[in-house]
Amino acid sequence: MKLYYKPGACSLASHIILNELGAPFDLEKVDTANGRTENGADYSRISPNGYVPALQLDSGDIVTENPAILQLLGDRATVGSLVPVAGTMARIRLQEMLNFLSSELHKAFGPFFSGQDLTDDERANAEAGVTRRVKFIEATLAEKPYLLGDAFSVADAYAFVVLNWSNFVGIDTSQWPHVHEYLARVQDRPSVRKAMKAEGLIGDEAAA
């Protein structure tokens, strides 16, 4: 399998889950601004929408969209419970959460990554949008250690990546005590530190 990724982008969630699986995989960095991969390939021929992540399976099939890729990878886990069994209500809860993360929380960060300088008002609006969505996560984490319950799942990898963007856009996560503690706890997983190190987001000391 090969993951097409951009450092620190939402593709980091799939990178974390690939590490959780423990099987070998390849990585290829994408420059989404110029539509080329690090090997010089035209990325629009790999993923027509031009964004990451894209996962190339050994069959040659390409899968895009975070919720689809994360469930595909989670279903391949041979140990642990990265995704609940398909067809159960627990699996529906995962899909509910992945859709919330993708279409609500992830997209709430959009204005910060628009490439435009935000005015004070635009920044305040964008921050209010993020805060509105994080409140649901904060309330969820007040009840249980991970988004689906007692165990880390693919939803936690995605939530970690998106919530952690707060630190890059200047939103103080200590205003959400459960989220703040959760981010530190998830970042401490070997799969997360390894992926962040490989993407150049943390140094050797933090990854050790």
Ligand X SMILES: N[C@@H](CCC(=O)N[C@@H](CS)C(=O)NCC(=O)O)C(=O)O
Give me the least distance between CB of 10 and ligand X, in Å please: 3
- Strand order through the sheet with 2-5: 36-37, 26-31, 2-5, 54-56, 62-64
Site residues (CB under 6 A) for ligand X, limited to 86-145: 102
Q: Which is nearer to ligand X, 52 or 108 (CB)?
A: 52
Of the residues 1, 13, 17, 52, which one makes contact with ligand X according to CB under 6 A: 52
User: In whole angstroms, what is the distance from residue 208 CA to residue 197 CA?
Assistant: 9
Asked if residue 164 binds ligand X (CB under 6 A), the reply is no
Asked if residue 28 binds ligand X (CB under 6 A), the reply is no
**Going residue by residue from 63 to 92, which x/- string records binding to ligand X, judged by CB under 6 A?**
--xx--------------------------
Q: Which is nearer to ligand X, 6 or 180 (CB)?
A: 6
Q: Which is nearer to ligand X, 10 or 155 (CB)?
A: 10
User: With CB under 6 A as the contact rule, which of the stretches 6-14, 18-26, 128-136, 144-152 interacts with ligand X?
Assistant: 6-14
Could you tell me how many residues of this chain bind ligand X (CB under 6 A)? 11
Q: Which is nearer to ligand X, 51 or 181 (CB)?
A: 51
Q: Which is nearer to ligand X, 67 or 84 (CB)?
A: 67
Asked if residue 51 binds ligand X (CB under 6 A), the reply is yes
SS3 for the chain is CEEEECCCCCHHHHHHHHHHHCCCCEEEEEECCCCEECCCCEHHHCCCCCCCCEEECCCCCEEECHHHHHHHHHHCCCCCCCCCCCCCHHHHHHHHHHHHHHHHHHHHCHHHHCCCCCCHHHHHHHHHHHHHHHHHHHHHHHHCCECCECCCCHHHHHHHHHHHHHHHHCCCHHHCHHHHHHHHHHHCCHHHHHHHHHCCCCCHHHHC
Give me the least distance between CB of 204 and ligand X, in Å please: 26
Q: Which is nearer to ligand X, 32 or 187 (CB)?
A: 32
**Residue 45 neighbours by CB distance under 10 Å:** 9
> Which spans of this chain sit near ligand X (rule: CB under 6 A)?
6, 9-10, 32-33, 51-53, 65-66, 102
